[in-house]
Structure 1
Amino acid sequence: MTATSDAGALPDGTRLGRTALRVSDLGEVTAFYRDVVGLGVLHRAETTAVLGVDESPLLVLEGDGDAPERGRTRAGLYHNAFRLPSRGALGDALRRVRDRWHLDGASDHRVSEALYLTDPEGNGVELYRDFPRDAWPVTDDGTVRMSTDPLDLDAVEAAAAGRSDAPPDTDVGHVHLETTSLESFRSFYVDTVGFEMQMSVPAASFVSAGGYHHHVAANTWNRRTEPVRGRGLSWFEVVVPDSTAFDALRERFAERGRRPAETDDGFAVTDPDGNEVRFRGC
């Protein structure tokens, strides 16, 4: 569960911040994340919408009617995963999905309970809640062991708390990518960024900070062969809570030939597939 020796592991408390999508129909996609996912619209302009909970932004939608569709060979987003604080909140989400959309799948991962759906432009969405951390199964080396078992949807819906939107403690729990190369994914996110491996199988890898089950994952299930282009994931954000670790990360990118681009509250780099990853302190 350790990063490679030449990269400092990200500190405990590292988490994901906002994630952003490039979309064609801003109105339709905004309505989906408001009415089905349950996020509030915090800001709306002609070409952008920001959604979140309790004034905390989680999702940025960037309207671009000229952006081409993401091709079948292009890397990019597998799903954005919005983490809900309780089974009751997950039950409320399931009711919204059943009333207003359609469910693609559901799983008990032994660390979490998850619902899967697809937004109007084909972006994957996961809505999930974690089991208590001390109940997560672990392997002999201390890493988290996940599985994919059937989820009792009736029990989840029966636990619904009766809320019509996502509660204040909702956040972005993880981002799952489709990559052209798991080796390149691990080289970037583990060897350079400093995430730790949690689980690796022949076609997928899961990495995290602070022992979480995963903050970023990647798979090659659909055999993507070309970099990101077109609609879909625009960028996502990693929040690093320690200023020393944040500065060291910036320097490490520069040393390895990935000169960071400055942003309003941190810096950004692109991963090997062309995904923009933004880093900020807190």
Structure 2
Amino acid sequence: MIDSVLPDRTHVGRVALRANNLDRLVVFYRDVLGLTVLEREADRATLGAGDDSLLELLAAPEAPERGTEEAGLFHVAFLVPSRAALGDALSRIHERWHLDGASDHRVSEALYLSDPEGNGIEIYRDRPREEWPTNEGRIEMATLPLDLDALGDRRRGEAGVPDETTVGHVHLEVTDLPRVREFYVEGLGLTVRQEWSDAALFLAAGDYHHHVGLNTWNGRTAPASGRGLAWVELLVPDREALGAVRDRIGRAEQSEGTDTLSLSDPDGIELRVRVEGTC
């Protein structure tokens, strides 16, 4: 019998972005976000925290700007391990860039900004799980004001993010919520953690508040293309979990001898499902 859901230990791995100006984005993610440049080549760069790769930047100087009707990235969310680390991120943003917004989501505290090519970014820290409000097994998030003065008081002046920083979740703009729900829930195996009317879904493996967000707030009507999001990676704990995804999806591509599946969602967004610890 095929497992119907992803294992609890599943989480987001790397996110890849197509960049018109690779050098500029490398500097931004290094100096403003505080990521470490792990590898740098003429046409690509890998950034991360500690030794872990979190972000792939792919040179695409001729890629057109993403159109206003196209699906794609709403934001990639970098999860820092403490309020002090979030305060340091706020300080770097104030010194070197500009903040778009800040929210208390009850389960987390978040800062929002956009990179030089318009890709949305969230930097956040989770509250302890025992403080997360729930109702009948689902998370109850909200969007409340965040006290930036109090957050700034917690900063330590660190130039980079802590080694424990990860990509906590990705949030996508989609064209048809019921259609992508079928793909991500029935196919991929994520579970619904919260629904906001008929315009947004928050999905996760296990009891996390969300690993993937989906929304139709901006009325996107066309498949993803152009610069910006290239692919998103989900890490599963073992080959059994990978095989279950392959069997549920039915059309995933798996290169012989590899531990990675490549598939596209209904809006043409590429997902890579990989066994953690493999290349």
TM-score (structure 1 length as normaliser): 0.95
Seq. identity, %: 53
Which of the residues 147, 169, 175 maps onto 1:152?
147
- Structure 1 regions of 5+ residues with no counterpart? none
Letter in 1 for 2:267: D
SS in 1 for 2:88: helix
Contact 2:46–2:54 (8 Å) recurs in 1: yes
SS in 1 for 2:189: coil
Question: Any idea what the Cα deviations from partners look like across 1:18-47, whole Å, max 9, x if unmatched?
Answer: 000001000001111000000000000011
Q: Does the alignment pair 1:40 with 2:31?
A: no
Which residue is 2:222 aligned to? 226
Q: Does the alignment pair 1:131 with 2:120?
A: no
Letter in 2 for 1:166: V
Which of the residues 147, 156, 174 maps onto 1:161?
156
Query: Please, what is the CA RMSD of the aligned residues?
Result: 1.4
Deviation at 1:184, TM superposition (A): 1.2
Which residue is 1:61 aligned to? 57
Listed as ranges, the matches of 1:187-202 within 5 Å are: 187-201=182-196, 202=198
Distance in 2 between residues matched to 1:259 and 1:15, nearest whole Å: 19
Q: Does the alignment pair 1:279 with 2:273?
A: yes
Residues matched between the structures, number: 274
Letter in 2 for 1:161: R
Which residue is 1:100 aligned to? 96
Distance in 2 between residues matched to 1:240 and 1:259, nearest whole Å: 15
Change (3 A) 1:265 1:43: farther
Letter in 1 for 2:69: T
Question: Any idea what the Cα deviations from partners look like across 1:88-119, whole Å, max 9, x if unmatched?
Answer: 00000000000000000000000000000000
Letter in 2 for 1:84: V
Which residue is 2:169 aligned to? 174
Which of the residues 241, 260, 274 maps onto 2:253?
260
Deviation at 1:120, TM superposition (A): 0.2
Letter in 2 for 1:150: P
Which residue is 1:248 aligned to? 244
SS in 2 for 1:37: coil
Contact 2:2–2:247 (8 Å) recurs in 1: no
Contact 2:224–2:269 (8 Å) recurs in 1: yes
Which residue is 1:113 aligned to? 109
- Structure 2 regions of 5+ residues with no counterpart? none
Letter in 1 for 2:275: G
Which residue is 1:185 aligned to? 180
Contact 2:2–2:244 (8 Å) recurs in 1: no
Deviation at 1:242, TM superposition (A): 3.2
Deviation at 1:247, TM superposition (A): 1.2
Which residue is 1:17 aligned to? 13
Contact 2:76–2:121 (8 Å) recurs in 1: yes
SS in 1 for 2:138: coil
Deviation at 1:8, TM superposition (A): 1.1
Change (3 A) 1:238 1:74: same
